[in-house]
DNA sequence: ATTGAAATCGGCCTAGC
DNA sequence: GCTAGGCCGATTTCAAT
């Protein structure tokens, strides 16, 4: 379990800037060979740090409706599921879940019927209050800073340090803080597998 | 001035899904040749609809600080510049400017000193109120719907229809609702050029 | 059709037991 | 001294223009 190093961050920054940049180009910047860059990007994907590559679309040039910022006040224990459900809506682009149980989403509505939109995804009964505001503009400026890995042990929930270990089970990568947690997890996993 | 057609939208959707997908692969999906796909993507870049290609990073796995959602209440006529100034900060990832003059930003702070961060970019005197909330999570789920072009005439501000025209001036592409607007704009542009 | 980029593979080097 | 991980260079296959 190696943490991210400066080279990883540099590669990430270059990709944030232009994800279609050739590996050979990246290689020049970080003073490595193209295959080495490819390996590192593979590893970042494996780790889940890189979820994928997308296109940055200027939605203000597209006629998809009116952009709004919607804030919902829901019971704290429901905030998670509400946020997830709303995120699945096509019209919703960003969802934020605050620690005190508010859910803020940025969406684009065709006809101004925000509550109708919300009702498609969630039960409005559990919403105590809704605040809708028209957006004049929005910007996205991704950056990275000096990020390091912040993985959570799949067994005990503790922070995974460089002493941690990882294992691939059923094609998914899990991280653990120590060998004991890994072993315990694998045990339970196997039992579930054979049971199912 | 052709509007977006189904093929353009299909290409965009495929790119949203995976921006490193080979053009030949896209070509198969939309029943075109790879060079034709390349041409279309070039055009989408020209139009400004695609701003670029990026990587989708899972920031929840990265230790960059504490994510917060900050709302500022500022005079309506200052909202624009405040939003822009804050957007330039490294720690700020999203900025939203609402029609009623509120500015909402999503940022990541190292030490919890949000006002210190804000002070780096803007004059706190003009801020009437600040509301800071801790974020438990955030999601980004890009989608497209049935988008069509919504360009604004650079001269008169009207909507540009398929009858509109475009022109490249000083390496930037401008759109106009009609030939008259184009001519007027070009005139002013030339005068500014020679004056400067 | 030409140019160029990505994946793959064998071998090398280094670090850590 | 052995193993594991990371990197390189060459090659081949495939993509971009």
Query: Looking at residue B173, which CATH number applies to its domain?
Result: 2.30.170
Residues B157 and B174 occupy one common structural domain: yes
Q: What is the span of the domain harbouring residue B162?
A: 150-196
What is residue A28's predicted lDDT score, i.e. its pLDDT?
A: 96
Protein residue nearest nucleotide D17, by CA to C1': B35
**Could you give the 3-state DSSP secondary structure of residue B17?**
helix
pLDDT digits (tens, 9 = 90+) for B65-121: 899 999 999 999 999 999 999 999 999 999 999 999 999 999 999 888 999 999 999
Task: Give the minimum alpha-carbon distance from A113 to chain B in angstroms, rounded to a whole number.
Answer: 17
Residue B130 inside a domain? The answer is: yes
pLDDT digits (tens, 9 = 90+) for B136-190: 999 998 888 788 888 888 888 888 888 888 888 887 888 898 999 999 998 898 8
Residues A113 and A163 occupy one common structural domain: no
Instruction: Encode A170-192: b = buried (16+ Cβ within 10 Å), e = exposed.
Output: eeeebbbbbeebbeebeeeeeee
What is residue B137's predicted lDDT score, i.e. its pLDDT?
A: 92
Residue B112 DSSP symbol: S
pLDDT digits (tens, 9 = 90+) for A18-77: 999 999 999 999 999 999 999 999 999 999 999 999 999 998 888 778 999 999 999 999
Q: Do A54 and B50 touch (CB under 8 A)?
A: no
Using a CB-CB distance cutoff of 8 angstroms, which residues of chain B are in contact with residue A91?
A: 143, 145
A196 and B CB contact within 8 Å: no
Residue A141 inside a domain? The answer is: no
What is residue A163's predicted lDDT score, i.e. its pLDDT?
A: 84
Using a CB-CB distance cutoff of 8 angstroms, which residues of chain A are in contact with residue B62?
A: 4, 49, 144, 147-150
**pLDDT class of A1 with cuts at 50, 70, 90:** confident
Residue B139 inside a domain? The answer is: no
Strands A129-140, A92-98: pairing is: unpaired
Using a CB-CB distance cutoff of 8 angstroms, which residues of chain A are in contact with residue B9?
A: none
Residue in B4, B64, B138 nearest the CB of A96: B138
Residue in A64, A95, A98 nearest the CB of B145: A64
Task: Give the minimum alpha-carbon distance from B125 to chain A in angstroms, rounded to a whole number.
Answer: 23
Residue A13 inside a domain? The answer is: yes
Give CA B20 to chain center in angstroms: 21
Residues B63 and B52 occupy one common structural domain: no
Q: Which two tokens stand for residue A100?
A: 């005190």
Protein residue nearest nucleotide C9, by CA to C1': A35
| A–B interface: beta-carbon pairs under 8 A | 226
Residue B144 inside a domain? The answer is: no
Strands B102-109, A165-169: pairing is: unpaired
Cα torsion through B93, B86, B79, B114, rounded to 10: 90
What is residue B196's predicted lDDT score, i.e. its pLDDT?
A: 63
What is the pTM (predicted TM-score) of this model? 0.91
Q: Are B94 and A139 in contact (CB under 8 A)?
A: yes
Residues A159 and A122 occupy one common structural domain: no
Q: Do B134 and A98 touch (CB under 8 A)?
A: yes
Query: Looking at residue A119, which CATH number applies to its domain?
Result: 3.30.70.920
E strand spans, B74-177:
92-98, 102-109, 129-140, 165-169, 172-176
B102 and A CB contact within 8 Å: yes
Residue B141 inside a domain? The answer is: no
Residue A98 inside a domain? The answer is: yes
What is residue A196's predicted lDDT score, i.e. its pLDDT?
A: 65
**Angle of CA points B168, B54, B10, to nearest 5°:** 70
Q: Which residue is it, tokens 């994907």?
A: A45
Question: Last residue of a domain, which of A13, A35, A56?
Answer: A56
Residues contacting strand D at CB < 7 A?
A: A 2, 7, 27, 31-33, 35-36, 39-40, 43; B 22-25, 34-35, 38
Residues B79 and B126 occupy one common structural domain: yes
Q: Are B68 and B100 in contact (CB under 8 A)?
A: no
pLDDT digits (tens, 9 = 90+) for A134-187: 999 999 999 898 899 999 999 999 989 888 888 888 778 889 988 888 888 988
pLDDT digits (tens, 9 = 90+) for A101-131: 999 999 999 888 899 999 999 999 999 999 9
Instruction: Find the mean pLDDT for residues A7-15.
Output: 97
Residues B42 and B2 occupy one common structural domain: yes
Residue B145 inside a domain? The answer is: no
Into how many domains does chain B fold? Answer: 3
Residue B81 CB contacts under 8 Å (≥ 6 apart), including other chains = none
Q: CA A9 to CA A5: how far, in whole Å? A: 6
């Amino acid at each position: 379990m190696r943490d991210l190093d400066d080279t990883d961050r540099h590669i990430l920054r270059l990709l944030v800037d232009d994800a279609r940049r050739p590996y050979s180009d990246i290689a020049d910047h970080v003073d490595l060979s193209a295959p080495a860059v490819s390996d590192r990007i593979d590893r970042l994907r494996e780790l889940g740090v890189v979820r994928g590559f997308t296109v940055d679309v200027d939605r203000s040039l597209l006629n998809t409706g009116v952009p709004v910022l919607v804030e919902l006040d829901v019971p704290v224990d429901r905030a998670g599921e509400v946020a997830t459900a709303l995120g699945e809506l096509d019209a919703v682009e960003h969802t934020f879940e605050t620690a005190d149980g508010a859910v803020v989403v940025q969406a684009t509505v065709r006809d101004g019927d925000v509550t109708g939109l919300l009702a498609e995804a969630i039960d409005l009964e559990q919403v105590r209050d809704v605040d809708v505001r028209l957006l004049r503009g929005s910007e996205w400026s991704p950056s990275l800073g000096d990020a390091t890995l912040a993985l959570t042990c799949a067994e005990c929930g503790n922070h995974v340090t460089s002493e941690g270990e990882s294992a691939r089970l059923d094609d998914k990568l899990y991280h653990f803080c120590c060998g004991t947690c890994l072993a315990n997890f694998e045990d339970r996993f196997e039992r579930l597998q054979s049971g199912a």
